Amino acid sequence: MLRLFYAIVLGIVGAGIVHIVVLLLIPRYSEQDAWTLISEAGPAYAMAPLKGSAAGEAVLSDADPMFDVAVCRFDLSDGTVQISGEGRVPFWSLSVFDRRGSNIYSLNDRSATDGRLDIVIATPAQMLELRKAPPEQYAEAVIIEADTEEGIAVLRSFVPDATWGPIVARHLAEVACESANDVPDAG
């Protein structure tokens, strides 16, 4: 009976120690979410390449080495966001995530119009305004409705061999991620 009592007390003390250690580690790990790490890669509304950056190494620790990745943070409370780029690469895909990391939308060059990267991200309220009077610069864009204020666009481009490296890097660097406040009026 004494051994059973000893085992129960030891289990309770051990569980208490583990509980305290977990509580003390929460602040350290809660500040290392994808949003925080990506915000270190570059400013909002700018495509920041993750390859070779400290933030990129933390976020992409197990990413496919045949893809180069760039990210753009945005805030839809500033207006709609347009992500566009010219040029051809073997394959690209773009995913839009909310701040918590939930995937909102994905598309790739095979599902985009003529393989062109041109998307607009808008809240439901902004989408209503776009339907009333769509701006001319959004005419060919894929328009995505996102029920979130802040988000991350992740652009991945395939690098089949080393000769494509500079082409893909240039493509990622030339992609524009602009708030509606930055886009000139078509009128």
Tell me the pLDDT of the chain (187 aa) as tens digits: 889 989 999 999 999 999 988 888 776 666 666 777 777 777 888 888 877 655 555 555 566 778 888 889 999 988 899 999 887 888 999 999 988 888 999 999 888 777 788 999 999 999 998 888 888 888 888 888 988 889 999 999 999 988 988 988 888 888 999 987 654 444 3
| pTM of this structure | 0.74
Residue 184 pLDDT: 44
8 and 58 assigned to the same domain = no
Residue 86 pLDDT: 84
Using alpha carbons, list the distances in angstroms from residue 153 to 17, 61, 131.
Answer: 41, 18, 23
26 and 88 assigned to the same domain = no
CA dist 144 and 24 (Å) reads 40
17 and 109 assigned to the same domain = no
Using alpha carbons, list the distances in angstroms from residue 186 to 20, 24, 178.
Answer: 59, 54, 15
6 and 96 assigned to the same domain = no
Residue 141 pLDDT: 86
47 and 127 assigned to the same domain = yes
15 and 75 assigned to the same domain = no
112 and 173 assigned to the same domain = yes
Domain-embedded: residue 187: no
